Structure 1
Amino acid sequence: MGRRNVLIEGGSGTGKTAVCEELARRGYQAIHGDRELAYRGDPKTGEPVGNVTGLAVHDHHLWRVDKVRALVADHSEPVTFFCGGSRNVLQFIHLFDAVFVLDVDTATLIRRLDSRPEEEWGGRGRDAERDLILHLHRTRADVPAGGIAIDSTASVAYVVDEILALSDTAGNSAR
């Protein structure tokens, strides 16, 4: 979709959805990967799987690699931002011109998780999921190495401004 393609990654609760929504509000092409590209699949083969429940949902959260490739190949927009996380990111990370990894301190993460409704991953009352999120936050085992770290404890507007400046797209006009 973009002549430049940017991946915005990060652990659960770091602000990927908010950043995606702010980019779209500003007129940029923003793909919410967790809504538009995700499916439950076998992390080794990529084959779709059914009836995955509990904490296993996390390990089976994949993006459709063929769709990512097709979107990256479409150069109708000056820049496209892909926002979200997937367990198969290493299969397509090389397609991106820039990769940003959102990060927050533990207190901010807990506050954000506390504000999630109970039906959302890691939301209120979902203690096992919250424990997993906090473990992954501590170990950084869930985010790709080598991305540009962005402290996303600041306002969403500030975080997006920083991403735009660092990705060299601030001067490009939105749609």
Structure 2
Amino acid sequence: MKRILVTGVSGVGKSTVVARLAELGHHAVDLDSPEWSEWVDSADGSGPTPSQSGKDWQWREDRVRKLLADDSDGVLFVSGCAANMGIFRDRFTGVVLLSIPAELMAERLTHRTTNAYGKDPAELARSLDFKDSVEPLLRATADLELDGTEPLAQLVSRIERFAADL
């Protein structure tokens, strides 16, 4: 099975892309949900949100490991970004990074309706800091970077082609 990770910092469109892939009939999972991720004690005592002081958002390793162990035919698309995602890098056939300008990211986080993360000014500031500090790390391990401002249909099509070409 091909496993494609769609990643990026908060507000770039990961969840929207993977939801659309699922709507199109693909096996697609958003790992940035409580079913697949959880708040754990942060190694440095800080976290991405004031609502979870001293905590960090991490993938539930046992569940993600089981999900990625599927060796059937086809393609699995997953989206997410977490502090411990690097331990799974070798399980992905390809990694797609979505990136958008900071101003648009701030607008999306402030006005999003799918979850409350990023609406708090401290969360927004931390997310914008992650754009500068975490996004370059994601870029260094990505196989493809896409402009998250592209229309959704175009992004999804490009990700489908990327997976097909692997």
Q: Quickly name the TM-score band, shorter chain normalised.
A: 0.7 to 0.9
Partner Cα distance (2:123, 2:62) in 1: 29
Partner of residue 24, structure 1: 22
Q: Which residues in structure 2 correspond to 1:5-154 (within 5 Å)?
A: 5-35=3-33, 36-43=35-42, 54=50, 56=52, 60-117=56-113, 120-123=116-119, 126-140=120-134, 144=138, 145-147=140-142, 148-154=144-150
Q: Is the 8 A contact 2:98 2:147 kept in 1?
A: yes
In structure 2, how many angstroms separate the alpha carbons of the residues matched to 1:163 and 1:140?
A: 22
Q: Distance in 1 between matches of 2:77 and 2:89?
A: 13
Q: How many residues are matched? A: 159
Structure 1 unaligned blocks of 5 or more: 45-51, 171-175
More helix by share: 2
- Report the TM-score, using the length of structure 2 for normalisation: 0.84
The residue type paired with residue 97 of structure 1 is T
Q: What TM-score do you get using the length of structure 1 for normalisation?
A: 0.80
Conserved 8 A contact 2:42-2:54: no
TM-fit CA distance, 1:32 = 0.9
Report the more deviating stretch, 155-164 or 72-81: 72-81
SS at match of 2:62: helix
**Aligned-partner residue type, residue 145 of structure 2:** A
Using the TM superposition, name which of 108-117 and 61-70 deviates more: 108-117
Task: Give identity over the alignment, percent.
Answer: 28
Partners of 1:108 and 1:28 lie apart in 2 by 28
Gaps in structure 2 of 5+ consecutive residues:
none
1:37 alignment partner AA: W
Give how far 1:5 is off. 0.7
Query: What root-mean-square deviation, in Å, do the aligned CA atoms of Structure 1 and Structure 2 show?
Result: 2.6
Q: Determine the C-alpha separation between the residues in 2 that align with 1:58 and 1:101.
A: 27
CA-CA distance at 1:71 after TM superposition: 1.3
Contact kept, 8 Å, 1:13 with 1:109, in 2: the verdict is yes
Shift of 1:101: 1.0
For residue 61 of structure 1, what is the amino acid of its counterpart? W
